[in-house]
Amino acid sequence: MADPAEQAEHAISALMRFVVSLIIPLWALVMLVLGVEYRSIWWLGCGVAVGGVGLLLLVGNPLAGAALDIRESWRK
């Protein structure tokens, strides 16, 4: 059994991974908005690329998995 310090370390690690997996898609949205506002292909391309990576991180996060899992949503 893990001691309380080890449990706290795992909880903080999971929370930090979840926060990072939320920040990256939000930054991608900001870049997409900048691309639309300034009509810049550079910002649009970067926003799409970072958004793809951010969505992969978000979907792969176990904490976000329950909220994003649509396979079982029909049972509700």
Looking at per-residue confidence, does 28 or 11 come out higher?
A: 28
Share of the chain above pLDDT 90, in %: 36
Q: Is the pLDDT at 54 greater than 70, yes or no?
A: yes
Collapsing DSSP to helix, strand or coil, 70 comes out as coil
How far apart, in Å, do the first and last CA atoms of the chain sit?
35
Model confidence, pTM: 0.68
Looking at per-residue confidence, does 61 or 36 come out higher?
A: 36
The pLDDT confidence band at residue 69, using thresholds 50, 70 and 90, is low
Average pLDDT over all residues of the chain: 82
